[in-house]
Each structure stands twice: as structure tokens, then as C-alpha cells.
Amino acid sequence: MRIMKTKYFYTIVGIAIALGIGAGAWYWTSRGPALPTYLVNGQPVTLVNGRAETPAAPGSASSVVTQYFGNVATGDLNGDGKPDVAFLITQSTGGSGTFYYVVATLITPDGGYEGTNAVLLGDRIAPQTTEIRNGELIVNYAERKAGEPMTAQPSVGVSKYLKVENGQLVEVQP
């Protein structure tokens, strides 16, 4: 079977890989590469069916749960002309917080996929939109005003701009 590798193919497979499920499963089985691993707070995390769960500490009953959230954006982040995929994940470490991060899945020269580091957006934020424009990843969300309690609804608009440098997501000024 011949696979047409168009930008739409990469987008569909990229989204399936971001979720760790669905349409890309047959592709990965035949190609061999594993699901991408992302670095969240310096720890490797591989989402399987959109979720990863690890013990909070050796022998601990508490778990760190990392999950796919959504806000998928596609576009070329590393300048190779192929559409990459960015999306948000959440991580709960056993307390009351839900930490939001942005990650990207980059297409490698051999047609595989590579996960990036996760960039923290905040705790219990209100995600809005995620887009890739001119090689930049732009994440829009709302957070609380300085000094507000975590029980307050996020009301301050924030736009975070990121680029891929040497396979890593780094924040840049707009």
C-alpha cells in the first residue's frame, strides 16, 4: 500500500499521535516508531490513549496524571516545510492544582515524530486558542490577576509566543 504524504496526512497522523490513539495506530505499527515522549518538568512522559500516570514518588500511592487537553494547532514549527502539531496537556500531581502546559510533536527528517519539552502556562488557567503562524506557536489563555485567590475565575488575557530552537520550545517576545 502506498501512503500519500500530504500536509493533510501529516496533520491527521500528528493529531492521532498527539492523542496516542486512532487513525495513526496502524501507521505506527507498520513504521515502528514509538509514540513521542515529552519532557514535563524534566521528566519524560509518553501519552498512551491521551494519558500517562506515574507514581508521585517511589512506593507512593499518589500518582502524577498527565492528560491530553486539546487546542490542537498544526503548522511548520521547525522550518522543514512539514506541518508539526502543538497542543495543550494538563498535569495533576495529587493536590488541588491542574497545571496546563503546551507541547509540540515535530516531524523528523526520517518521517518519525519527536516530542518537545513542555512549557508551563499556569495552574487552573482558562485556555482560549492555540495557533501556529509564521513558524511561531501562539497560545492564548486567561489567568487570574496578581494576588487573586485560586478560587477566582481567570480574567486576565495572556498570549504566550514560542518557537522551536534545537528541538526545544522556547518562549520569545512577540
Q: Specify if 144 maps to a domain.
A: no
Whole-number average pLDDT of the chain: 84
Burial class of residue 72 (count of CB atoms within 10 Å of its CB; 0-12, 13-18, 19+): middle
Q: Specify if 36 maps to a domain.
A: yes
Between CA 173 and CA 162 the distance in angstroms is 8
Average pLDDT value for residue range 110-125? 92
DSSP helix/strand/coil, 145: coil
Measured between alpha carbons, how far apart are the two ends of the chain, in Å? 44
What are the phi and psi torsion angles at 25 (to 5°)?
-60, -45
Q: What's the pLDDT band for 106 if we cut at 50, 70, 90? A: very high
Q: What's the pLDDT band for 22 if we cut at 50, 70, 90? A: very low
Q: Specify if 42 maps to a domain.
A: yes
Q: Specify if 142 maps to a domain.
A: no
Burial class of residue 44 (count of CB atoms within 10 Å of its CB; 0-12, 13-18, 19+): exposed
Domain range holding 53? 7-124
Q: How confident is the model over 33-45, as pLDDT tens digits? A: 447 899 999 999 9
Q: How confident is the model over 61-98, as pLDDT tens digits? A: 889 999 999 999 999 999 999 889 999 999 998 778 89
Q: Specify if 77 maps to a domain.
A: yes
Q: Which long-range contacts (CB under 8 A, 24 or more apart) does 145-153 make?
A: 150/96, 150/97, 150/123, 150/124, 153/126
At 108, the amino acid letter reads: T
Average pLDDT value for residue range 16-33? 42
Q: Specify if 83 maps to a domain.
A: yes
Give the chain's domain count.
1
pLDDT of residue 154: 95
C-alpha dihedral (31, 112, 134, 128), degrees to nearest 10: 80
Q: What's the pLDDT band for 12 if we cut at 50, 70, 90? A: low
Tally the C-alpha atoms within 13 A of residue 159's C-alpha that lie toward its C-beta. 10
Q: Specify if 145 maps to a domain.
A: no
Q: Specify if 146 maps to a domain.
A: no
